[in-house]
Structure 1
Amino acid sequence: MSSFFDPPNTKNTDGGNTTNPHVPGEQSRQPGHWQNFAQKVPAQLLALLAIISVQMGAAMGKELFSVIGPLGTTFLRLGFAAILLLIFWRPQIRGLTRTQYINVLLFGIVLAAMNGAFYSAIRYIPLGIAVALEFVGPLGLALMQSRRVKDLVWALLAVVGIFLLAPIGQGAVNLLGMGLAILAGICWAGYILCSAKVGHSFTGGRGLALAVAVATIAIAPLGISNGGVALLSPQVLLTGVGIAIFSSVIPFSLELEALRRLPSRVFGILMSVEPAVATLIGFFVLHEAIGLREILAIALIISASVGVSLDATAQHQ
């Protein structure tokens, strides 16, 4: 899972000014001292650190499941992220057009469904497998928007990868977990479409800040019901802040700088290795072991994502 799920194709080919995938229509408001530090770090490393941060946030979230459940964790993550984004961007609610209100509302509902489905998925299946299946969403969207026969190869790789993860035989992947991860991926595709609309109607991350606030309200009934009074525990609240920082604030800041300096081809490839990073973090942090079949499936889905990223870049050159 990413910090509000980065579309892999929101980067210009010249490596110049770009749109942050986490903040539609982003315009930098970062302090100068952060920029001075970030500019000294290779852009590729910034992108990889952002991926690691996102997956660490997901791992932290999974540790809370036994206390407040996946939907309670989703509520905390979105809630604290909304607070941080609203403070940072300070969006105005008054004076918005009807179209802006509708776009923010739809975006918020998609965000709530996406995060809720993902956290629910990793309750049943390993983190790396969930992230790999989630890539089916944006990958499918990219393939639907393509008319090239060559893209059928990438689609076939992804389908084979999913088939290898199918719940067949001993030690098979949980079917409910797979379904939830794919649902999160479908919502990720919806996020990409909503992101484009919000990005055209808001400056900076103001639209995203409002959408995350809507997502928090949307998930609140289920989250509070799932988490109960444990949501008020100081330790749980502190962990929730940590999840929001690792899943949103840190990767947002890192990718903001990386996106300015990386060509879209490189950035797309780096984002495509996210399932591999998630698998490693799942293994070392959550002690989630997976077999060779699952590793092969993840590799096939990563290959399909890399292939689509490379082809998309070539088409726009």
Structure 2
Amino acid sequence: MARNAAWPMGVVAPLLAVTAAMAAFQVGAAFAKQLFPAVGPQGAAALRIVLGALMLLAVGRPWRAWPGRGSIVPLIGLGISVAGVILFFYLAIDRLPLGVAIALQFLGPLSVAVFGSRRASDLVWAATAAAGVWLLVGVGRQTGALDLLGIGWALAAAACWAGYILVGRRVSQGYGVAVASLSIGVAALVVLPVGLAHAGPALFAPAILPLALLVALMSTAVPFALEFFAMPRMPARTFAVFTSLEPAFGVLSGLFLLHERLSPAQVGGVAMVVAAAAAAAWSSAAGAPAAHPDLADAAPN
């Protein structure tokens, strides 16, 4: 009886952790947009990554058990991918509604899942995602045409996310759980010069530090901690499907925190991308030999 009584909480707690991680990331992105007038998206990305790296390095302290077999070159590639995902995503949400940007960004992991599969059914998910993207960018006259450069930035973030997954699987074999703090540390070294070149001394203004710390906490430290708690405690397909709901959280965060409204067609486009990502993730995880998701499959929050 004790086992049966404890079983529901053993299932619910990881699901709640993943849900809270997605919500924290989207809330952090919404707060980050409030930094744009002061330092621009480049400066906001630099502040988030640098402060988030300091938080993760202080908590993880990877130097205590430095891996002996990890190659430095893939780790650098992973850090560049992390920097690209966050920088390009911030450039995208400077020009696009939050829900639209995150839906377009999800084309990266969706492409990895679809092209890495040999199932003919995955072509259906690719077509569903393509139809969703068309609804996002090809319709929406009721709310105005979407910014083409913003769409380009979102697709660049998607490509970096795909690279993050492909490179991260290799790096995580050598660095284990230290891959999170080390990759975000490399990303900080990559993106800090970009933020400084754009924002200059304003990047160190004391007035924006509290908001920058909140963004780093909500967008980096909290999601990583929650996902690391959840991933070993739930099946791969469940984790993958739940994280595929993130564009829906983006729509809600944009609506309630930023007052961004989408047309019904654009909401339908987000829903189709979510459905395609969830179905492809479920199908991909079902054929994977591992019982749990790889740390590198999680979003580089």
Unaligned runs of 5+ in 2: 1-8, 290-301
1:214 is aligned to 2:182:
no
Superposition pairs of residues 101-250 of structure 1, within 5 angstroms: 101-166=72-137, 170=141, 171-205=144-178, 207-250=179-222
Report % sequence identity: 37
Which position in structure 2 is the counterpart of 1:28? none
SS at match of 1:289: coil
Query: Post-superposition shift, 1:272?
Result: 1.2
Query: Post-superposition shift, 1:39?
Result: 6.7
Using the alignment, how far apart are the partners of 2:194 and 2:154 within structure 1?
18
Q: Spell out, residue by residue over 1:258-297, the C-alpha distance to the aligned partner (whole angstroms, 9 max, x if none).
A: 2233222222221111101110010000111110111011
Question: Contact (CA 8 Å) 1:167, 1:174: kept in 2 or not?
Answer: no
Change (3 A) 1:41 1:144: closer
TM-score normalised by length of structure 1:
0.82
Paired amino acid for 2:98: L
Greater mean alpha carbon deviation, residues 193-202 or residues 251-260: 251-260
Which position in structure 2 is the counterpart of 1:9? none
Query: Post-superposition shift, 1:99?
Result: 6.2
Question: Contact (CA 8 Å) 2:89, 2:154: kept in 1 or not?
Answer: yes
Q: Spell out, residue by residue over 1:107-149, the C-alpha distance to the aligned partner (whole angstroms, 9 max, x if none).
A: 1111111111000000000001111001100100111111111
Query: Post-superposition shift, 1:242?
Result: 1.0
Change (3 A) 1:169 1:39: closer
Question: Contact (CA 8 Å) 1:72, 1:223: kept in 2 or not?
Answer: yes
Greater mean alpha carbon deviation, residues 60-69 or residues 260-269: 260-269
Unaligned runs of 5+ in 1: 1-37
Using the alignment, how far apart are the partners of 1:238 and 1:100 within structure 2?
36
Which position in structure 2 is the counterpart of 1:286? 258
Using the alignment, how far apart are the partners of 1:119 and 1:282 within structure 2?
14
Paired amino acid for 2:195: G
SS at match of 1:202: helix
Using the alignment, how far apart are the partners of 2:151 and 2:118 within structure 1?
28
Query: Post-superposition shift, 1:169?
Result: 6.9
1:302 is aligned to 2:258:
no
Using the alignment, how far apart are the partners of 1:215 and 1:108 within structure 2?
4
Q: Spell out, residue by residue over 1:53-105, the C-alpha distance to the aligned partner (whole angstroms, 9 max, x if none).
A: 01011111111101100000010011011111222222339987796221221
Question: Contact (CA 8 Å) 1:167, 1:175: kept in 2 or not?
Answer: no
Query: Post-superposition shift, 1:228?
Result: 2.0
Q: Which one of the candidate residues 34, 55, 60 is aligned to 2:31? A: 60
Using the alignment, how far apart are the partners of 1:313 and 1:114 within structure 2?
23
Which position in structure 1 is the counterpart of 2:296? none
Query: Post-superposition shift, 1:166?
Result: 2.2
Which position in structure 2 is the counterpart of 1:17? none
Query: Post-superposition shift, 1:167?
Result: 5.0
Using the alignment, how far apart are the partners of 2:76 and 2:104 within structure 1?
26
Using the alignment, how far apart are the partners of 2:116 and 2:214 within structure 1?
37
Using the alignment, how far apart are the partners of 1:172 and 1:247 within structure 2?
29
> What value does the CA root-mean-square deviation take over the aligned residues?
2.2
| Structure holding more helix per residue | 2
SS at match of 2:146: coil
Which position in structure 2 is the counterpart of 1:42? 13
Change (3 A) 1:99 1:258: closer
Change (3 A) 1:96 1:271: closer
Question: Contact (CA 8 Å) 1:114, 1:187: kept in 2 or not?
Answer: yes
Paired amino acid for 2:32: G
Question: Contact (CA 8 Å) 1:39, 1:257: kept in 2 or not?
Answer: no
